[in-house]
Structure 1
Amino acid sequence: MIGLITHKGIIVNIEPDSLAEEIGLEIGDKIIEINGQNLRDIIDLSFALAEEEIELLVEKKNGEQEVIEFDKEYDEKLGAEFESAVFDGIRCCGNRCWFCFVDQIAPNMRASLSVKDDDYRMSFLYGNFVTLTNTKPEDFERIKKLHLTPLFVSVHTTNGQLRAKMLQNKRAADIMLQLNHLKEAAVEFHTQIVLCPGINDGEELEKTIHDLMQMQPYAQTLAIVPVGLTKYREDCYPLAMFSQEEASRVIDQVERWQKINRNKTGKSFVYLGDEFYFLAKREIPPAKEYDGFPQLENGIGLTRNFLSEWDEITDNVCNPYAKQIYLDIVCGKSAGSVLTSLLEQLDIPNLSVRVVAIENEFFGKEITVTGLLTGQDILKNLKDHQGKRTGVIIPGSALRTGEDVFLDDYSLADLQRDLGVDVKVAYNGGELKRLLQSWHEHPMTLDVNPNVYTWQSNAAYSKNK
């Protein structure tokens, strides 16, 4: 049964001097209708507010409803931020994927971490990957009518029977039919594969890459990431991690397809997650082979992009610190060697830097990426590292989006209190380099924006991150 998480059109913030403030909207108000149209999401809201004469039906916090009539310019912003981009309920996933990471999280974590979003609207608005298994014919008609492009689709394999098994959903077998619907509607889509050894790799991967490449230019990109396995895989389908040899074979296979496609179109089309290169102990590809990092939010090319951002800060030799300072840089196991090589480029007198590559005890030692570090593991590892410490630099990817807490609800303030030193955050390579060059000039932590959704005029959408 596909679940829904209902939010309605609840306003959580009003911009000062905005149209929303002028017409008397308040935090907690729910926007129900515009010009008699019931609103399902901010997509409906955006198109409805493109009119110049507006009749707004609002439900106040006390439950009473009020009609607000006003005129506006076509491209005038409302200036209201919403609790969710979807008002009639976020569609949750009805699959039981063999490799689902949500099924492998620790027990007793906050409920929101167990939500499986599988909503085509969130895919269009914010790049969330969806399987399309709960996308109905009327949804495809709406996608076509409103030209909701691009979408982000979890394909995993173009072998329908295999996909139905992997997702444990018979509707998953229709993936090529659904992708062709998008193609016929001139809707572009980015795709991804969670690759599982012995299941959808080898000849199956060969077929999938071939099939998706044939759908260009509507198929924009293909990202391939290795399956992630935590220690909480109770009652899950038996899967294994990639060995060094297996990861090398995947890289060789994909590089062959990249060369074929670059000769045809000038772009790689298919990209591998950084973990494959770390597992195979191979060099990360140069930036030009990522074609502008179209799937960076999916973790594709994060390391190369980080290195490029670091290199953009060209002043490697800096003024010395007046007194000796000792900084620890936190990262996952897979990124440790990369950071160590970067630090060899720095020449800052009176600065001592130590890379602390954290062992992931929370999810299991097989999880080596920085983005899945928890606050408690960071604290434990730092306490185990003896020696002088002036401060700690935390990777922004380890924090939940829009918040100052780690996945285990341990906060930056908790970490700073328990360590007794300054804790600061670097969200990219350039910020890390600047922190090292001028530690005392940066605030304790960077600003964190809440997860709120903003309507912008003329059918444009944004999410504050």
Structure 2
Amino acid sequence: MKKHKICAVLDDSIAYELGIEPGDFLLNINGQPIVDVFDYRFLIAAEYLDITVQSSDGSIFVLEIEKDEDEDLGLIFSSDLMDKVKSCQNKCLFCFIDQLPPNMRSTVYFKDDDWRLSYLYGNYITLTNMTDSDYLRLAQHKLSPINVSVHATDPQVRKQILNHKNAHLILEHIQKILDLGIQINAQIVLCPGINDGQILDQTIRDLSRFIPNILSLSVVPVGISKFRDGLPNLDSFDQSSAQAVIETIHKWQKFYQLKMDTRFVFAADEFYVLAKLPLPDYLDYEDFPVIDNGVGMLAKFRHELISCLNNLDGNPSHSDKVKYICPVGVIAYNFMLENVNLIKDKFPNIEIEVCSITNNYFGDRVTVTGLLTAQDIEAELKSKDLTDVIILIADNMLKMDEDIFLDNITVDELENNLDAKIQIMPHNDGAMWLNLLSL
């Protein structure tokens, strides 16, 4: 029998009032075993419950509960999933985890490929390790949508990319999921010379057959660090090759917009910056289905920032000259500089220096802000006069639930090293970003 260790009990909750304590184990609910958090959520939604608990001394007791429908019990478990995470069985050509240096946060080295994390956190999965039991549970809990890494629909190319015996069955796997009533957001990690060009056209065309049950298809550039010893050689995108990708995607967007009333396929913001092309309009991203995949994030941020600025009168709330430094990845420098100039035009009392940080930790081919580390920021800023300066750190540089950078340095440690105050800023909300400034 699977046991779920209770790590904490919320004060004044049902579990607290019943005397359940941290260290006890939840065994079952209404006689039903609990595989993971989805079983738990489903079972506790009922008004009448019999929960079987094993105390820390080994004794087992059953508690009868009458509660409001959907009222929580107040139990906290050791993991959000309440189960072992399914690991990745692929050996992808471009896997970024294979390109990581040592001494990072331990959690970043684990390769997950779990459909449940796709639903919970938006992780992308490949479907190569799905079992009949997984499909059954997916259908049972109706967890939709999930995010799927396709990369290519050509069987041999996908097999080459993923290095897995089941990789070529992607279209069959997608059909099986859609037949369950589950929708999908699909992704292509694009590698020059491997799955671009005609292969990209084929992948877009093949996946478009499943519109509207495939909600969107995002195309993101491969990420390449300096730690690729012993790994296959991969090229990065340059301005010319990025322009070719944008041209392909715009061609298909126009086609599907006319035929299906959706653009369907979207390029990551990084492609537009690399190609030195203007970002699409805010409305071109429709309802921003995959913004967390770096698709439309810049357009949304700019739109929100300008809308918020237009609603402000431009009169400073104080006379002090406020100084900020905003460290960003190389690829985001011009975009953020334009945003800052918009702010300074309306609020001349504010001084914001945008600082482009070269990523020496991963290598200079990694240019996004979210992969900057504390040590690279410190190396760039330590020679500056930081007296009365506030350093603006984007929240996507940090662990989701903890103020720690990828190199295991905390925000407090960086503050102490630089002898300067740090303010955490939202990376994907222009209005909130503006409102956190002292204007």
Once the two structures are TM-superposed, the CA of residue 360 in structure 1 deviates from its matched residue by: 0.6
Aligned to 1:335: 332
> Retained in 1: the 8 A contact 2:386–2:420?
no
Distance 1:63 1:370 in 2: 50
Aligned to 1:206: 201
**Map of 1:101-250 to 2, 5 A cutoff?**
101-250=96-245
Distance 2:64 2:41 in 1: 17
Amino acid at match of 2:279: I
Structure 2: which 5+ residue stretches go unaligned? none
Residues 1:403 and 2:398 are matched in the alignment: no
Aligned to 1:436: 437
> Retained in 2: the 8 A contact 1:328–1:389?
no
Worse overlay, 416-425 or 370-379: 416-425
> Retained in 2: the 8 A contact 1:55–1:68?
yes
Once the two structures are TM-superposed, the CA of residue 148 in structure 1 deviates from its matched residue by: 2.4
Once the two structures are TM-superposed, the CA of residue 215 in structure 1 deviates from its matched residue by: 0.5
Runs of 4 or more, structure 1, over 6 Å off, are: none
Worse overlay, 405-414 or 313-322: 313-322
> Retained in 2: the 8 A contact 1:130–1:154?
yes
Worse overlay, 247-256 or 132-141: 132-141
Aligned to 1:376: 375
Once the two structures are TM-superposed, the CA of residue 280 in structure 1 deviates from its matched residue by: 0.6
Q: Which of 271, 277, 282 pairs up with 2:266? A: 271
Distance 1:234 1:342 in 2: 39
Distance 2:276 2:317 in 1: 35
> Retained in 2: the 8 A contact 1:9–1:30?
yes
Worse overlay, 157-166 or 254-263: 157-166
Once the two structures are TM-superposed, the CA of residue 404 in structure 1 deviates from its matched residue by: 0.7
Note closer, same or farther for the CA distance 1:165–1:61 as it changes in structure 2 (3 Å cut).
Answer: farther
The C-alpha deviation readout for 1:254-273, integer Å capped at 9, x for no partner, is: 00111111112322111111
Larger RCO (alpha carbons 8 Å, 6+ apart): 1
Amino acid at match of 1:45: Y
> Retained in 1: the 8 A contact 2:54–2:60?
yes
Structure 1: which 5+ residue stretches go unaligned? 1-6, 439-465
Distance 1:429 1:224 in 2: 24
The C-alpha deviation readout for 1:363-395, integer Å capped at 9, x for no partner, is: 111111010010111111111345765221111
Once the two structures are TM-superposed, the CA of residue 150 in structure 1 deviates from its matched residue by: 1.3
> Retained in 2: the 8 A contact 1:8–1:88?
no
Q: Which of 81, 96, 120 pairs up with 2:76? A: 81
Distance 1:91 1:364 in 2: 30
Once the two structures are TM-superposed, the CA of residue 436 in structure 1 deviates from its matched residue by: 3.2
The root-mean-square deviation of aligned C-alpha atoms, in Å, is 1.9
Worse overlay, 342-351 or 131-140: 342-351
Once the two structures are TM-superposed, the CA of residue 352 in structure 1 deviates from its matched residue by: 2.0
TM-score normalised to structure 1 length? 0.88
> Retained in 2: the 8 A contact 1:243–1:279?
yes
Distance 2:76 2:262 in 1: 38
> Retained in 2: the 8 A contact 1:8–1:87?
no
Matched residue SS, 1:91: coil
> Retained in 1: the 8 A contact 2:50–2:64?
yes
Once the two structures are TM-superposed, the CA of residue 110 in structure 1 deviates from its matched residue by: 3.1
Once the two structures are TM-superposed, the CA of residue 13 in structure 1 deviates from its matched residue by: 4.0
Aligned to 2:422: 423
> Retained in 1: the 8 A contact 2:103–2:408?
no
Matched residue SS, 2:220: strand
Once the two structures are TM-superposed, the CA of residue 213 in structure 1 deviates from its matched residue by: 0.8
Worse overlay, 216-225 or 142-151: 142-151
Once the two structures are TM-superposed, the CA of residue 181 in structure 1 deviates from its matched residue by: 0.7
Once the two structures are TM-superposed, the CA of residue 191 in structure 1 deviates from its matched residue by: 0.7
Distance 1:197 1:412 in 2: 37
Once the two structures are TM-superposed, the CA of residue 137 in structure 1 deviates from its matched residue by: 1.8
Worse overlay, 70-79 or 146-155: 70-79
Residues 1:394 and 2:393 are matched in the alignment: yes
> Retained in 2: the 8 A contact 1:23–1:70?
no
Amino acid at match of 1:335: A
Residues 1:357 and 2:352 are matched in the alignment: no
Amino acid at match of 1:238: N
Aligned residue pairs: how many? 432
> Retained in 1: the 8 A contact 2:219–2:267?
yes
Distance 1:292 1:344 in 2: 28
Amino acid at match of 2:91: R
Distance 1:276 1:78 in 2: 47
TM-score normalised to structure 2 length? 0.93
Note closer, same or farther for the CA distance 1:138–1:436 as it changes in structure 2 (3 Å cut).
Answer: closer
Amino acid at match of 2:368: V
Amino acid at match of 2:314: V
